Amino acid sequence: MTKRGRLRVLLGAAPGVGKTFAMLEEARRIRADGVDVAIAFVETHGRAATAAMADGLPEVARTTVTHRGVTLEEMDLDAVLERHPTVALVDELAHTNAPGGAHEKRWQDVDVLLAAGIDVISTLNIQHIESLNDVVEQITGAPQRETVPDRFLRGADQIEVVDLAPQALRDRLASGTVYPAERIDAALSNYFRIGNLTALRELALLWLADEVDQALKGYRAEHGISSTWEARERVVVALTGGPEGETLLRRGARIAARSAGGELLAVHVSSQDGLRTEHPAALTQQRALVEKLGGTYHQVIGEDVPTALVEFARSVNATQLVLGASRRGRAAAALTGPGIGATVVRESGDIDVHMVNHAEGVRRLALPRRTGALTARRRLLGFALAIVGGPLLTWLLASVRSDDSITSDVLSYQLLVVLVALVGGIWPALFAAVLSGLTLDFFFIEPLYAVHIHEPLHLLAVALYVVIAVLVSVIVDRAARYTRAARRSAAEAELIQTIAGSVLRGDDALQALVDRTREAFGLRGARLVDATGAELAASGQPTTPSRDGIEIPVGADATLELSGAELAASERRLLTVVASQLSAALEHRRLERTAREIEPIAASDRVRGALLSALSHDLRRPLAAATAAIGGLRAAGISLSADDRRELLDTAAESLDGLGALVTDLLDVTRIQAGALSIRVASTDPESVIAPALDELGMGPNEVSLALQHGDASVQADPVLLQRVLVNLLANASRYSPAGERVLVTTSTFADRLEIRIIDHGPGIAAEKYDDIFVPFQRLGDTDNSTGLGLGLALSRGFVDSMHGTLLPEDTPGGGLTMVVSLPVTPAVPVSDFAPSGDLS
């Protein structure tokens, strides 16, 4: 089966913002990486810059359609499918095809290309999104008949906003790069008014807010950011592990999505009366769904489920709490009291509670604590059954009594004793056994209405009632203990899994462990301190272990302090597991700190080794040449001719000059690293620096091309240092340029910056090695020792940084390397809102 292609959409607020230009620019970039790219359909609208950017890219021939006497050009879908490029460029996604084509809309053609496994890059304006069509018409007054369904656009793998400030777009329109001259005034007065463009720009950003929010959540999780989200909605969904969990999660996600930046948190409470599931796999699937929906999963061990839910919601500053509606019948509600939902509503205070109906009933199992096998509620129900069931059974048996019914009477009371034992355990069963024996003797054995045990068999019957009650109660109690122990082990395993998962997902290990420990055991506060008392991680309220908490040793030099609840022995045993995880996390942090401390030493050793290696070659060569020349002069005396003497003197002078330059570079590197470099910043015309740099290198028109477009702008720079930077960059570019290729030097301004670009078409450098080229004594494997110590780029970056500028490498379209020097423009010179020439859409 063919893998479906990927769709990338460049979304703009209005025509002219730069969508088509950006698409073609991206096509050139990926084509330079060896990707098969073809233009399926691009509309330049007669814009020179767009046509120039499309020039040279492979293009699939268009098809022509005649409609009402007019010949129209359309994308040839069959030809594109036959060509089958890796990436197809399809402009104007909302375009309506001419009649007679395979599909009515171009987005339907794109869907066919995607189904064929072709990746597509396309463009779209915000007014063409179907759900926003009426809103755009209200803003601009212009109806849009060509639309793209939201479902198709939302299915795109990547949507990017190509943004441009409204005034910059109007400036571009006024310059004639968007529309012909005859259309400019009408456009500026109508559709392209500042208010319209501002509203459309905001609409485009808001439409994309859902995807931006997901990216922000990922960033927050990665960096542990939480403080800046206090005013946003936090929706807590209570999970039981039952099949209704998916419904609750999706409802909670929709509630969170209604506010920008809303957070979704899912919590599963494990406790004696807590929410449990017979299907751990269902809870695992729901945990995965929470992460897909952009939320976080939490597990809490609490004695009382409603209290645990409300306390957790308050601890995370939740604004909404989502629960599944109870499916208990009226009889069950009357016997067991108000349900979890009703209790949560009563205790929630200012937290909004949503009771969500669902198709599945909630089945709960108890997560036991070690305080007993059966709950107090079950024991009370056992006594109630004995007190109510005994008289009812007596009345029923008395109404049908006969001389032959004594056997059925005895068995009926025995059944009552067994039922009470099953419900309430041993004490209610013993009470029911004694009460049943006395009732049987009083109402059904002669003499009636008196308790007389004259026969030993009657006493044996009462004893048998008691023995049966004890045996059944012991079995029930043992079964309950085994069941509770198994469930508690499962809950503890889930807790450890949740704690480990927080660390594996990239959370801060110590903070995640402390947070989950406090949540799981329902503590008021928890913190981890080292041997000196310094706090390593904390969660909840400040702890006071000496008064109301406990201390758990963590390794040899840390302590976990807990406060807010008395923990059972079994829970303290579970805390030892948490302590071992904390100890491992502390050890990992110590190792990381040691590695960071060693890294500078290792880096220094590498630099020292590189320096020694460079000195052994680069300094020795000019020194040896100068020594040999001077030695030859001294040994030969007057026997040398004038030409020979001149040649030896030139060799010595050249070698000593090179040696002086190398020493100067070493001193400059030392000054830069020490922050002692002398800078004399002045208003400098880049042209006055570029020309001397070219003269110094002896580069003429055959080696370099100039495209200086900075106008009257000047930069704040040290002319001497800037010239040294340009000399280094030009020398590198010339050295690596292929024979016959000229180095291109361009200048341009943008906002308050002026950029000088040195462009070559040589072999280029891989993006992952960009940082390496600025490391001193680094020549990326170049073994030519005639070109210096490998300090040129390191010095150049240091010089530019000291002038408050930047020096960055970029890929040259078509292959090669571009070095970009960006410097601040002199404030005294007015800077216009310059928009690059040509249409960028």
Q: Is the pLDDT of residue 303 over 70?
A: no
Q: Would you say residue 837 lies in a domain?
A: no
Q: Is the pLDDT of residue 609 over 60?
A: no
Please give the pLDDT value at position 122: 93
Q: Would you say residue 715 lies in a domain?
A: yes
Same domain, 386 and 319: no
Q: Is the pLDDT of residue 615 over 60?
A: no
Q: Would you say residue 816 lies in a domain?
A: yes
How high does pLDDT run on average in the chain?
76
- Between 69 and 38, name the one with better pLDDT: 38
Q: Of the ranges 20-24, 584-588, 694-698, which is most confident? A: 20-24
Cα gap 65→72, rounded to integer Å: 5
Give residue 318's domain range.
229-356
What's the CA angle centered on 239, arms 238 and 240, to 5 degrees? 125
Strand ranges, E, within 303-416: 320-324, 352-356
Please give the pLDDT value at position 337: 57
Q: What number is the average pLDDT over the span 251-270? A: 80
Please give the pLDDT value at position 666: 57
Please give the pLDDT value at position 140: 77
CB 23 within 8 A of CB 173: no
- The model's confidence at residue 373, banded by pLDDT at 50, 70 and 90, is low
Residue type, 260: A
How far are the Cα atoms of 153, 376, 470, 480 from residue 382, in angstroms, in the given order? 62, 10, 14, 15
Which three-class secondary structure state does DSSP give residue 436?
A: helix
Q: What is the dihedral sign for C-alpha 486, 491, 496, 500?
A: positive
Same domain, 795 and 711: yes
263-294 per-position pLDDT tens digit: 889 988 875 433 344 456 677 778 888 888 87
- Structural domain ending residue among the three candidates 327, 356, 385: 356
Percentage of the chain beyond pLDDT 70 is 74
- The model's confidence at residue 214, banded by pLDDT at 50, 70 and 90, is low
- Residue 243: CB partners within 8 Å, gap ≥ 6? 282, 360
Q: Is the pLDDT of residue 370 over 60?
A: no
List the beta bridge partners of residue 87: 37, 119
Point out the least confidently predicted range of 508-512, 559-563, 703-707, 786-790.
786-790
Same domain, 330 and 428: no
Please give the pLDDT value at position 222: 60
Tokens of 649: 């003197």
Point out the least confidently predicted range of 246-255, 461-470, 728-737.
461-470
Number of domains in the chain: 4
Q: Would you say residue 608 lies in a domain?
A: no
Strand ranges, E, within 679-769: 682-684, 704-708, 715-717, 743-750, 753-759
389 HSE (CA, 13 A, CB side): 24
Closest alpha carbon to 87 in 131, 128, 32? 32
Please give the pLDDT value at position 661: 62
Please give the pLDDT value at position 39: 92
Q: Is the pLDDT of residue 781 over 60?
A: no
Q: Is the pLDDT of residue 307 over 80?
A: yes
- Between 621 and 312, name the one with better pLDDT: 312
CB 798 within 8 A of CB 668: yes
Same domain, 59 and 154: yes
Closest alpha carbon to 559 in 591, 514, 508, 504? 514
Point out the least confidently predicted range of 50-64, 331-345, 569-583.
331-345
Same domain, 79 and 198: yes
Same domain, 392 and 293: no
- The model's confidence at residue 132, banded by pLDDT at 50, 70 and 90, is confident
Point out the least confidently predicted range of 21-30, 221-230, 336-345, 748-757.
221-230
- Between 120 and 402, name the one with better pLDDT: 120
Q: What number is the average pLDDT over the span 749-757? A: 86
Identify the CATH number of the domain in which residue 815 sits: 3.30.565.10
Same domain, 340 and 456: no
Identify the CATH number of the domain in which residue 295 sits: 3.40.50.620
Please give the pLDDT value at position 495: 65
Q: What number is the average pLDDT over the span 369-390? A: 74
- Between 118 and 200, name the one with better pLDDT: 118
- The model's confidence at residue 811, banded by pLDDT at 50, 70 and 90, is confident
- Structural domain ending residue among the three candidates 356, 390, 416: 356
Point out the least confidently predicted range of 412-421, 520-529, 594-603, 611-620.
611-620
- Between 66 and 109, name the one with better pLDDT: 109
- Structural domain ending residue among the three candidates 172, 207, 242: 207
Q: Would you say residue 829 lies in a domain?
A: no
Q: What number is the average pLDDT over the span 257-264? A: 73
Q: Is the pLDDT of residue 507 over 70?
A: no
- The model's confidence at residue 10, banded by pLDDT at 50, 70 and 90, is very high
Same domain, 339 and 407: no
Task: Determine if the pTM surpasses 0.85.
Answer: no
Q: Would you say residue 322 lies in a domain?
A: yes
Q: Of the ranges 191-195, 249-253, 481-485, 818-822, which is most confident? A: 818-822
Q: Of the ranges 107-111, 128-132, 347-351, which is most confident? A: 107-111
712-742 per-position pLDDT tens digit: 889 998 888 888 889 889 988 988 888 888 9
Same domain, 181 and 330: no
Strand ranges, E, within 575-734: 682-684, 704-708, 715-717
Task: Please provide the size of the chain in residues.
Answer: 841
- Between 184 and 501, name the one with better pLDDT: 184
Identify the CATH number of the domain in which residue 177 sits: 3.40.50.300
Please give the pLDDT value at position 638: 58
Percentage of the chain beyond pLDDT 90 is 12
Same domain, 176 and 104: yes
Same domain, 35 and 153: yes
Rg (CA), the chain: 41
Residue type, 508: D
- The model's confidence at residue 484, banded by pLDDT at 50, 70 and 90, is low
- Residue 123: CB partners within 8 Å, gap ≥ 6? 9, 10, 11, 12, 19, 20, 23, 91, 92, 93, 841
Please give the pLDDT value at position 274: 37
Element (H, E) at 19: helix 19-32
- The model's confidence at residue 653, banded by pLDDT at 50, 70 and 90, is confident
**Could you tell me if residue 540 is left (phi over 0), alpha (psi between -120 and 50 degrees) or otherwise beta?**
left
Q: Is the pLDDT of residue 119 over 90?
A: yes
Q: Which residue has the tokens 């943008």?
A: 750
Same domain, 332 and 413: no
Please give the pLDDT value at position 85: 92
Please give the pLDDT value at position 503: 53
Tokens of 620: 């020795």
CB 750 within 8 A of CB 762: no
Reading across the β-sheet that carries 704-708, which strands appear in turn?
704-708, 743-750, 753-759, 817-824, 806-811
- Residue 15: asked if its preceding bond is cis (omega within 30°), the reply is no
Q: Would you say residue 11 lies in a domain?
A: yes
Q: Would you say residue 158 lies in a domain?
A: yes
Tokens of 416: 């009552």
- The model's confidence at residue 822, banded by pLDDT at 50, 70 and 90, is very high
Reading across the β-sheet that carries 558-563, which strands appear in turn?
535-540, 525-530, 558-563, 549-554
